[in-house]
Amino acid sequence: MENKKLMFKRVREGATVPEYATPGSAALDLRYCGDVSVTLAVGEIKSIPTGLAIEVPDGCAAVVCARSGLASKRGISLANGIGLIDPDYRGELCVVLKNHGSSLFTAHPGDRIAQLMIIPIYHAELCEVEELDETERGEGGFGSTGIK
């Protein structure tokens, strides 16, 4: 595993430094930075501040991902699926959460609300062709490989 330096700045008082939960974690935990608890009604979407701005390492992007526990136990996900942080963005990281659950969800200051992963960027060289290479799957789309 290669290490890259992730420069960060606290842009709100009380912002928490992101941490890897375990030595094998692929992503850093992001926490809610605010003075009061924030409640999402069923179906509601809210932008939750982290109090942090980052400088993504050269050749990389940052991806904000949902926390699996919040998704599976409470129905809380990112409204946009994932959040892509381009390397030239320098503003505050905010996490846009949606409550898909069946009850109110409350985030308290300091709660872990999402994860941040640093990934390499590869720019594709686009090459238009008349035919694409054949594969065993071919044009089989949604569900074409079955459940088992």
Per-residue model confidence as pLDDT tens digits over 42-86:
999 999 999 999 999 999 999 999 999 999 999 999 999 999 999
Total domains present in the chain: 1
Query: 22 lies in which domain range?
Result: 12-120
In a domain, 102, yes or no: yes
Residue 5 lies in a domain: no
Provide φ and ψ at 105, rounded to 5°. Answer: -125, 130
Tokens 């946009």 belong to 80
Distance CA 58, CA 56 (A): 7
pLDDT of 147 above 90: no
First-last CA distance in the chain: 32
Query: Looking at the DSSP assignment, which residues form a beta bridge with residue 47?
Result: 96
CATH code for the domain of 100: 2.70.40.10
pTM of the predicted model, to two decimals?
Answer: 0.86
Q: What separation in angstroms does the CA of 129 have from each of 91, 126, 132, 141?
A: 40, 10, 7, 21
